[in-house]
Structure 1
């Protein structure tokens, strides 16, 4: 089961200033590997050397399980036996925490999401990776390779781990007709006043922007993470209007399951694993990727530019996307695996179909999280966009 993925990162001012040189977004419809900025000059490792005996990781909860939480959930012990690399894991709760920890130089690799990866690249905290030193990379889904959240000008800065979409979930007995649009939680939210739920994070402004991109084309939004002041104000206004209908903002998936189970929530943003968990507990819910598309997340294992154990880090990156390990972590965490061969090894043979692992058409409608910066990442050069620090301020105002 996916554990928690808490609010995504209040970006540190220094990191944002460094990232302001970035010019890309990992969103649907964008060209791959197109980050048009020049990161610090760092070279990828050319060959693998002798294992250093250990590797220090920063990871989301559930990404580096060693059996200590559950004896049946362990894909670390075999790695340690086969490579001689002892795994030391620091579990992080937010992307901001990951960024700050990587700056210490004490860690070798991190499982960064798209709202952290470009910051790490721009600040020189992570180095390019040599995918030839990761044999299992060849089996990674094409839709995850050379993308704007894990590469710059076709230079890879990480190894894809998995991905997921933010869905619209609803109680089938309380919400009728079945919704196919985010209007159910925005313009039509008053129909379920007090029982609408929303993700508790400043990055949720992108969900509002995505809806406005389709419902109010006159605003000219092309990328939900690239909002000029007028577009940003419209998204904030929409969320302030939504607030009066929201019963609860969530970041812990178990709490959302409980809210749908009790009836306190009947419609709102969700994850596939939440939908699966709720349905397993006989809650009458369904989920849909709305016609406007959705936001989402894609995680990447990135190598520290100051890694003290780079050889073990490379071995870890190859291991965690190996078919068996990637199947285990994807199923436990609740996501689509990165390795296509992992789909044959999941305990639930329908796992990859449920999570749309091989359905690239599905992912074309998902706009993956990325950190908003002052330089408009949709290509505009005649205006400035609202940076994430102001998203954070606005989110506090929205919630009251």
Structure 2
């Protein structure tokens, strides 16, 4: 098994500073611009490479051998294109959002909780996928989705994706749980040994559960909640709070809690299950209600100083071999359908369900909650991420 080097969502959404309501409202409008208005037009052709490119990404996404001589997919890109890579890692999506405002980066790897904010703020540009030959090899079910496009305009290309699964102690649960009810309505049976992901975006997990069990609420998309729907999700999470032993953001702590038995059930990632010490009585399941998850997107800065090298990077990292290297090292499914031919572990793609459309269809990928309802409703305003952040603080107390 490849080690999970990134703090990933171990820090991905925790420690988020409260973003101002004005800013998140701007995800619906920005200085009078309607959402999706391009801050610059996508190019129709490319020019000569600029000799360098500055990349902002999650740890483990841009490896050049300096962390581990055996892990390097950047050098081949530099040799192939003549574009020297300067990279910086970030620990949270909020940090990435703020760093992109400096104008110092040409490319960013953004998760769904940040991508729409970047579009609305005018910090990233539309992408002409015709100029990215390897885009054709990306799974169709990852293309032109709510977290990587706006109004039919692509704002990046998919990188890797994964699911937020339910992990359970096999000594405690026989048979395996089939529903998220073990962490919600039935969580009192495991009081003090339930875990949940420590982030406002976890509200979507509760909304997804309610969407299945309380259809009268009218929830169609767990990231598109009006005030009544958000209140219902908050109430569910407040009830869960009484039985939570520990909220987790550091995946290492999650591993330790399951290994010691301090935690017996809760949200996890496949890579966490794979990292447990041999003999730990724990397995994962995708419950009947579905799961939330992530699909990260490579995006180009609207004011990129090296746009040609930026396009070269997007094309390269989407290539089968590079995509396989990066996603296997990180611990997620690749986006390129030919990447599975290049993984070191022959079981990598099977483990992460790469290309399994039926499996992927059960994942509600992280998307930034905005006032413009992502479910298409126009008769109400949906709650934005600022409201979710406030609600999360209220839930945790």
Deviations, residues 88-126 of structure 1 (Å, cap 9, x unaligned) = 111111111111111111100100111111111122111
Secondary structure in 2 aligned to 1:19?
coil
Query: What is the match of residue 297 of structure 1?
Result: 294
| 353-362 or 377-386, which deviates more | 377-386
Distance 1:373 1:317 in 2: 27
Please say which of residues 181-190 and 47-56 is displaced more in the overlay.
47-56
SS in 2 for 1:163: strand
What are the Cα deviations for residues 173-230 of structure 1, in whole angstroms up to 9, with x where unaligned?
1223310111010011111111111000000011011101111112111111111222
- Secondary structure of the corresponding residue to residue 187 of structure 1: coil
CA RMSD, aligned part only?
A: 1.6
Task: Give the corresponding residue for 1:262.
Answer: 260
CA contact (8 A) 1:157 1:302 kept: yes
SS of corresponding position for 2:231: helix
Asked if 1 retains the 8 angstrom alpha-carbon contact of 2:38 and 2:126, the reply is no
Check the 8 A contact 2:373/2:382 in 1, yes or no: yes
Distance in 2 separating the partners of 1:274 and 1:214: 26
Residue 18 (1) aligns with residue 15 (2): no
What does residue range 204-353 of structure 1 map to in structure 2 within 5 Å? 204-278=202-276, 281-353=278-350
1:133 pairs with one of 131, 138, 141: 131
Partner of 1:32: none
- What is the SS of the residue equivalent to 1:119? helix
CA deviation string 1:67-98 (max 9, x = no partner): 12111111112212222211111111111111
* CA offset digits 1:292-348 (Å, max 9, x no partner): 011111101000010001111111111111111111111111111011110111111
Distance in 2, matches of 1:302 and 1:112, equals 7
Once residues 111 and 187 of structure 1 are traced to their aligned partners in structure 2, the CA distance between those partners, rounded to angstroms, is 36
Asked if the contact 1:297–1:368 (Cα under 8 Å) also holds between the matched residues in 2, the reply is yes
Shift of 1:42: 2.5
Aligned in 2, Cα 1:10/1:205: closer, same or farther, shift over 3 Å? farther
Which structure 2 residues correspond to residues 190-201 of structure 1 after superposition, within 5 A? 190-201=188-199
- Residues 180-191 of structure 1 mapped to structure 2, 5 A cutoff: 180-191=178-189
Aligned to 1:80: 78
Distance 2:290 2:152 in 1: 26
TM-score (norm. length: structure 2): 0.93
Q: Which residue of 2 aligns with 1:372?
A: 369
Q: Is the 8 A contact 2:27 2:35 kept in 1?
A: no
Are the counterparts in 2 of residues 320 and 326 from structure 1 also a CA contact under 8 Å? yes
| Conserved? CA contact 2:100–2:123, under 8 Å | yes
Shift of 1:372: 1.1
| Superposition deviation, residue 380 in structure 1 | 2.1
- Report how far residue 127 of structure 1 moved: 0.9
SS at match of 2:117: helix
Secondary structure, counterpart of 1:298 in structure 2: strand
Gaps of 5+ in 2: none
Instruction: Give the whole-Å Cα distance in 1 for the aligned partners of 2:273 and 2:37.
Output: 39
Query: SS at the partner of 1:314?
Result: helix
